[in-house]
Amino acid sequence: MPNNYPHPLLAREGWPFIAIALAVALVINGAAGFGWALPFWLLFIFVVQFFRDPPRPIPQGAKDVLSPADGRIVAIEPVRDPYLDRDSVKISVFMNVFNVHSNRSPVDGEVVARWYNAGRFVNAALDKASVENERNALHLRTRDGHNVTCVQVAGLIARRILCYVEAGASLARGQRYGFIRFGSRVDVYLPPGSRARVTIGDKVSASSTILAELP
């Protein structure tokens, strides 16, 4: 898997796309001039901003659950965790195409299990995306024995979920473990008694925003 920080400010997953967009813009600029190439320069700028991957401060509170993604909070609710079959507190982060799309571990812990489910590609801002869309879930167990489920969910535009860890791996809070290309969502299922530190509509940043406190 890619190394944790320090790492390039542009995600490795985007290097081929950035190179292609730059090459096309340069060729058209050289052949037809800047006016014809302008849309392709704008596309290049969009691709660069989409794949940016800046380092972030990482809070170290023992009970803190960090945001696994950049975006906006679209759900905070008591639900049944569909992976561990238990009552839980679910917090969902929706990522649009202008957010950073690297995914980072919300807690220090061991990857107990990983599940992949093929599915649809409905708008990731909708609640039904959590159970209908293509998704990849990790069961993380903290050093204190708390179980946390972190689920990458593909969206309307996203067509590729990348996850670089398997069962048995150890993750540190804020460690980069995956990437989703284009608009998408990450759901976090927490044990009962967890206290949310965010509200619906809040903008959050991966690793640096505290989503909740474990019991």
**Which residues are the active-site residues?**
184
Residue with tokens 């398997």: 166
Name residues whose C-beta falls within 8 Å of residue 26's C-beta, 6 or more positions apart in sequence.
none
Residue 202's SS3 state is coil
- As given in the structure block, the two tokens for residue 51 are 């794949």
Q: In what order do the strands lie in the sheet with 210-213?
A: 64-66, 210-213, 195-196
Q: Strands of 96-134 (E only): list them.
A: 102-104, 109-117
The CA distances from residue 4 to 25, 28, 173, in Å, are: 32, 37, 10
Contact status, residue 90 vs residue 76, Cβ threshold 8 Å? yes
What's phi and psi for 51, nearest 5 deg?
Answer: -95, 15
| DSSP annotation of 12 | G
